[in-house]
């Protein structure tokens, strides 16, 4: 009889890697390497070297914090000015806090979400560490910890909101469900103040997920949902709902850096669909390759993202509430910024929320898939043993 695999499972296949023997040492090695880069190099010169376009928001945030600019574009510069008024602000100090948030805080939240709500098992600890390790290797996230960008702070709050919603959905106590859902609502409002369509997507995705959480994601159903999505988009386009997004896209702020797509909207249905599809592929899948930096970004970020998406589609039957929520959020959030953005560098920054969501979904679905797979094998082998032994004789 063939031996049943009893080792813990990680990601897409069984693994013998231990936490102490592999995941923890590698995570710590990556953390030390990032810390050395941060402390030993002039990170602002490195930021200019790696920049794909879209400008440096850090200069504006620093000027606002010190009172040189009085026009606030979001809650983030107001928070920085408050820190400055309290005597707690320095650009390097805030940047280092964001570095720690990106290197330790965000991987920890990802690990918690990956295993949250799943029945206990030996596979969960290693899956959590794998999630933290893969997240720590995310180049764009590391890049945006070099300065006082709001993106790292927003990603941290977004993951905290997802964890709070996950706790609200899995808690058995009414009091705890109410508490965690209140935390989720509060963080959604804060995210709305930081980036309006991000907070909107975080909140509305809960309602949409409640509607379709029981829907079987078969090929016909998925095709129908995609068609309805395009119909809704074109209807919004014709009604002028997206005019502010188009105005922002066509304002010329994306022209610096040499990574502008140059795509413009059209009125006819087919032209609009082709515009959106091409913009979506360029920004989400990163296939707009116009420089060595863009090629490297495509290889190290977008290709793994595509592989995870393909694996998710094959194992879509194992999408639970958390995964369906993240899928819904990714689609709503990506739709908005794809319509309003026309720059590869900005897209790499905006799609961090989508890429991290897909990583979490892939790990959760993989855990559930392999548990189901090996339970089936064990059951079939048990049936085979019973058949070989024949009927019992009393």
Q: Which domain holds residue 31?
A: 9-389
Helix (H) or strand (E) holding 13: strand 13-14
Residue 2 inside a domain? The answer is no
Residue 262 inside a domain? The answer is yes
Residue 76 inside a domain? The answer is yes
Task: Give alpha helix (H) positions in the chain.
Answer: 24-40, 43-50, 57-65, 75-85, 91-100, 106-115, 122-136, 139-143, 150-170, 174-194, 196-212, 219-239, 243-249, 269-284, 292-297, 303-314, 321-340, 344-350, 352-389
Residue 369 inside a domain? The answer is yes
Residue 146 inside a domain? The answer is yes
Helix (H) or strand (E) holding 14: strand 13-14
Residue 153 inside a domain? The answer is yes
Residue 3 inside a domain? The answer is no
> Among 355, 315, 312, 316, which Cα is nearest to 333's?
355
Cα–Cα distance between 310 and 307 in angstroms, integer? 5
Helix (H) or strand (E) holding 10: strand 9-10
Q: Tens of pLDDT along the chain (394 residues)?
A: 334 344 444 444 445 567 767 888 999 999 999 999 888 876 555 555 555 444 568 889 999 999 998 888 899 999 999 999 999 999 989 999 999 999 999 999 999 999 988 888 778 888 899 999 999 999 999 988 888 999 999 999 999 999 999 999 998 899 999 999 999 999 999 999 999 999 999 999 999 999 888 888 888 888 888 888 888 888 888 888 888 887 777 766 656 555 777 777 766 777 888 888 898 999 999 888 888 888 998 999 999 999 999 999 999 889 999 999 999 999 999 999 999 888 888 899 999 999 999 999 999 999 999 888 766 665 655 655 655 565 555 5
pTM reported for the whole predicted model: 0.88
Residue 4 inside a domain? The answer is no
Domain count along the chain: 1
Residue 248, number of CB atoms within 10 A of its CB: 14
Cα–Cα distance between 219 and 225 in angstroms, integer? 10
Cα–Cα distance between 231 and 193 in angstroms, integer? 29
């Amino acid at each position: 009889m063939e031996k049943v695999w009893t080792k813990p499972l990680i990601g897409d296949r069984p693994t013998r890697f231990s936490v102490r023997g592999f995941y923890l040492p590698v995570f710590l090695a990556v953390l030390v390497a990032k810390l050395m880069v941060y402390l030993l190099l002039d990170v602002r010169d490195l930021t200019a070297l790696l920049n794909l376009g879209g400008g440096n928001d850090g200069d504006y945030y620093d000027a606002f914090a010190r009172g040189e600019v009085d026009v606030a574009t979001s809650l983030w510069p107001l928070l920085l000015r408050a820190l400055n008024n309290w005597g707690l602000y320095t650009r390097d100090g805030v940047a280092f806090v964001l570095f720690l948030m990106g290197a330790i805080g965000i991987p920890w939240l990802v690990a918690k979400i990956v295993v949250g709500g799943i029945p206990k098992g030996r596979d969960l600890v290693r899956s959590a560490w794998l999630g933290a390790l893969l997240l720590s290797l995310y180049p764009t996230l590391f890049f945006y910890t070099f300065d006082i960008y709001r993106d790292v702070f927003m990603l941290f709050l977004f993951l905290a909101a997802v964890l709070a919603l996950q706790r609200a959905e899995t808690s058995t106590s009414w009091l705890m469900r109410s508490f965690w859902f209140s935390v989720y609502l509060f963080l959604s409002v804060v995210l709305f103040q930081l980036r309006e369509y991000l907070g909107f997507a975080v909140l509305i995705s809960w309602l949409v997920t409640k509607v379709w959480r029981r829907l079987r994601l078969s090929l016909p159903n998925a095709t129908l949902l995609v068609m309805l999505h395009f119909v809704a988009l074109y209807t919004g386009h014709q009604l002028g709902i997206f005019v502010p997004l188009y105005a922002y896209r066509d304002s010329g702020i994306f022209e610096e850096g040499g990574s502008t797509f140059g795509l413009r909207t059209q009125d006819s249905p087919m032209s609009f669909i082709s515009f959106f599809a091409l913009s979506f592929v360029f920004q989400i899948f990163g296939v707009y390759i116009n420089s060595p930096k863009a090629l490297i970004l495509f290889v190290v970020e977008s290709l793994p993202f595509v592989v995870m998406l393909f694996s998710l589609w094959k194992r879509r039957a194992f999408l639970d509430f958390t995964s369906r929520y993240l899928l819904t959020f990714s689609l709503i959030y990506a739709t908005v910024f794809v319509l309003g953005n026309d720059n590869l560098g900005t897209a790499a920054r905006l799609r961090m929320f989508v890429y991290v969501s897909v990583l979490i979904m892939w790990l959760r679905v993989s855990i559930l898939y392999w548990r189901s797979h090996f339970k089936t094998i064990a059951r079939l082998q048990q049936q085979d043993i019973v058949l070989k032994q024949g009927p019992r004789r009393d």
